[in-house]
């Protein structure tokens, strides 16, 4: 019996998570385990009614679960950032889920928009750092006469750009990216360990040619970790070029390790080369704590309640959850049943089909039950 916390969230989140739960229950029947779901009412509706995002009591309770199954967060009635930072990032940070694992794999039966590339060419994993970088939430927006907190910003603007920083018209905002040696080390070790179980190649992504303090540290730690894994071939890339290589030569990649923000950006690109956001799963992993599995896409509010959202990314994230729980065979079985469903043509309209969200979940579950 596995206890799993379930948070549907906003927009299409609850609809797609229902399909994921349905499939994991079917996998349990097939492979001989039970999941005991606990639903948590966390998201925009509750926030709009009560002003509550996620409480300390809820975080404490959820920290007793090995895993969270998550839909998505974000609502057009709430200012951008409130729910995203107050719920999603709050959980990633509170549970110290320092790895954001995002497989980029073209499933059999899906056409990549990259001409001539098949499943053998598009099969790599992005290991995105998930607790540092520009996501730490240190920043400010101010007029100099109100607040003179950051001398370095003041000097830059007055000396370099010749602006009158005492004037109220000069509004300034800044955001700080923070990396730590230990934060880099642990996510890189995870990436190299993963590569040792795959094709033994790791590519690092950074922008050390410009942001040389943070990503200079990133590179230095990368070379140390690399030294501990002599059997793994490595490559250093810059983020701008890596977006080009993802499109031109995806077959070059095996494991890609990236800082938080670049990882966010390059994985939406990765999702497109594997057939679209409706197909891209992710796991926020703390190898010794509570981990959270979700599609990498958001709440796609324009599709809310229409039953047209593709649940495959979420179902596949459920397979990552099973793998994390140690149910490796069941995890593989779920991915095979997803491919079977695609083969049977039971797909939503983003993939050119006419199936509804629930038809896809029903079909994957039926294939699992056999």
Rounded to a whole number of angstroms, the distance between the first and last alpha carbons of the chain is 22
| Residue (87 or 355) nearer to ligand IPM, CB | 87
Binders in 292-351 for ligand IPM, by CB under 6 A: 296, 298
Over the window 236 to 275, marking each residue x when it contacts Mn ion by CB under 5 A and - when it does not, the resulting string is ----------------------------x-----------
Q: Which residue, 58, 135, 123, 43, is CA-closest to 98?
A: 135
| Residue (28 or 177) nearer to ligand IPM, CB | 177
Tokens linked to 332: 């593989």
**Are residues 253 and 267 in contact, defined by beta-carbon separation less than 8 angstroms?**
no
Q: How far apart are CA 109 and CA 344, in angstroms?
A: 10
Over the window 68 to 87, marking each residue x when it contacts ligand IPM by CB under 6 A and - when it does not, the resulting string is ----------------x---
294 binds K ion (CB under 5 A): yes
Residue matched to tokens 């800044």: 174
**Stretch (H or E) spanning 229:** none
Q: How far is the CB of 303 from ligand NAD (least distance, A)?
A: 6
Q: How far is the CB of 296 from K ion (least distance, A)?
A: 6
Q: Which residue, 73, 125, 129, is CA-closest to 274?
A: 125
Q: How far is the CB of 265 from Mn ion (least distance, A)?
A: 8
16 binds ligand IPM (CB under 6 A): no
323 binds K ion (CB under 5 A): no
Q: How far apart are CA 265 and CA 336, in angstroms?
A: 28
Q: How far is the CB of 329 from ligand NAD (least distance, A)?
A: 27
Which residues of this protein are in contact with ligand NAD, per CB under 6 A? 12, 16, 72-74, 84, 88, 277-278, 294, 297-300, 302, 309-310, 313, 350
Cα 346 → chain centroid: 26
Q: How far is the CB of 236 from Mn ion (least distance, A)?
A: 24
Binders in 247-286 for ligand IPM, by CB under 6 A: 264
Q: How far apart are CA 160 and CA 193, in angstroms?
A: 45
97 binds K ion (CB under 5 A): no
Judged by beta carbon distances under 5 to 8 A according to partner kind, the member of ligand NAD, K ion, ligand IPM, none in contact with residue 302 is ligand NAD
89 binds ligand IPM (CB under 6 A): yes
131 binds K ion (CB under 5 A): no
Judged by beta carbon distances under 5 to 8 A according to partner kind, the member of ligand IPM, Mn ion, K ion, none in contact with residue 72 is K ion
- The residue at minimum Cβ distance from ligand IPM is 84
Measured CA angle at 18 (ends 16, 21), to 5 deg: 115
| Residue (242 or 296) nearer to ligand NAD, CB | 296
Q: How far is the CB of 268 from Mn ion (least distance, A)?
A: 6
The sign of the dihedral angle between the CA atoms of 286, 276, 270, 273 is positive
Which of 72, 100, 284, 310 lies at the binding interface for K ion (CB under 5 A)? 72
| Residue (264 or 327) nearer to Mn ion, CB | 264
Tokens linked to 239: 């983020």
CA-based R_g, the chain, Å: 22
| Residue (88 or 188) nearer to Mn ion, CB | 88
Judged by beta carbon distances under 5 to 8 A according to partner kind, the member of Mn ion, ligand NAD, ligand IPM, none in contact with residue 310 is ligand NAD
| Residue (88 or 308) nearer to ligand IPM, CB | 88
């Amino acid at each position: 019996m596995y206890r799993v916390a379930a948070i549907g969230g906003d927009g299409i989140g609850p609809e797609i998570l229902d399909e994921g739960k349905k499939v994991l229950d079917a996998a349990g029947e097939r492979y001989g385990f039970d999941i005991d779901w606990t639903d948590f009412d966390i998201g925009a509706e509750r926030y709009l009614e009560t002003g509550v995002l996620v409480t300390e009591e809820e975080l404490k309770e959820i920290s007793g679960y090995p895993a969270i199954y998550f839909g998505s967060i974000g609502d057009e009635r709430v200012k951008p950032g409130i729910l995203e930072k107050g719920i999603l990032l709050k959980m990633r940070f509170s549970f110290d889920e320092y790895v954001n694992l995002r497989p980029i794999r073209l499933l059999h039966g899906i056409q990549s928009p990259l001409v001539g590339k098949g499943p053998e060419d598009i099969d790599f994993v992005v290991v995105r750092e998930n607790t540092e970088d520009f996501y730490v939430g240190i920043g400010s927006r101010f007029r100099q006469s109100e607040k003179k907190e950051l001398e370095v910003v003041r000097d830059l603007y007055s000396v370099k750009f010749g602006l009158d920083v005492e004037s109220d018209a000069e509004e300034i905002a800044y955001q700080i990216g923070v990396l730590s040696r230990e934060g880099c080390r642990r996510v890189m070790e995870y990436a190299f360990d993963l590569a040792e179980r795959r094709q033994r190649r790791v590519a690092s992504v950074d922008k050390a040619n410009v942001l040389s303090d943070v990503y200079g540290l990133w590179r230095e730690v990368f070379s140390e970790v690399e030294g501990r894994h002599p059997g793994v071939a490595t490559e250093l890339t810059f983020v701008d070029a890596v977006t080009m290589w993802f499109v031109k030569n995806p077959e070059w990649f095996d494991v890609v390790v990236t800082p938080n923000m670049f990882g966010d950006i390059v994985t939406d690109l990765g999702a497109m080369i594997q057939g679209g956001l409706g197909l891209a799963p992710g796991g926020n992993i703390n190898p010794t704590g509570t981990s959270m599995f979700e599609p990498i896409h958001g709440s796609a509010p324009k599709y809310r309640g229409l039953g047209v959202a593709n649940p495959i990314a979420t179902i596949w994230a459920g397979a990552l959850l099973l793998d994390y729980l140690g149910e490796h065979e069941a995890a593989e079985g779920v991915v095979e049943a997803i491919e079977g469903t695609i083969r049977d043509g039971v797909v939503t309209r983003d993939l050119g089909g006419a199936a509804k969200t629930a038809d896809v979940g029903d079909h994957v579950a039926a294939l699992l039950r056999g």
